[in-house]
Amino acid sequence: MRQIGTCRANGGALLAHAGEVKLSPVEQFYFDASLHAQKRNPEMTKMPLTVLLISAVSVAFVSPGWADTLPLSKIDRKTEAAIRRSNAKQNVRCFDYILKDFLERKIRKADIYVTFNDPAIDGIGIGIAETDENYSCEAGELRSWEQGSYQVAKKFK
């Protein structure tokens, strides 16, 4: 029996008697390439695992700086508690104020989007889907997006 290639599924070798299995030239090229790479440098097969581990560790310790944006209908109690805990009391009061306004206006929870953990703002962002009605609660202020910039609409203590 001779080795005709490697099998990635089980990490072993594909073995066959001479002449028993015919491979296309393309298949033979890929099987031979991995065989020759392993013979030249057996450590090369461990390289992808090392790169994967280093990537996983770096992602775990380095915050990518992305904000979380979810529709209000998808925010559960645990997420809501985390949002409230991670923000100042004034920002939470502001958040409650604007949510109460949206719900009194009978805007569906699926259309209200909440942005949190955003490195660009120190607070909570709130908006209505498919409209220009966007607000943020930062530094105890309700800020509305008007004329290309945020305008302070109300202050909370």
Residue 71's pLDDT band (cuts 50, 70, 90): very high
pLDDT tens digit string along 6-64? 555 545 555 555 556 666 666 666 556 555 555 555 555 555 555 544 555 444 444 44
Instruction: Give the chain's mean pLDDT.
Output: 75
pLDDT of residue 53: 47
Mean pLDDT confidence for 131-147? 88
Q: Which residue has the tokens 């013979």?
A: 39
State both tokens at 51. 């790169």
* Per-residue model confidence (pLDDT) at position 33: 58
Residue partners of 72: CB distance under 8 A and separation at least 6: 99, 109, 110, 112, 113, 114
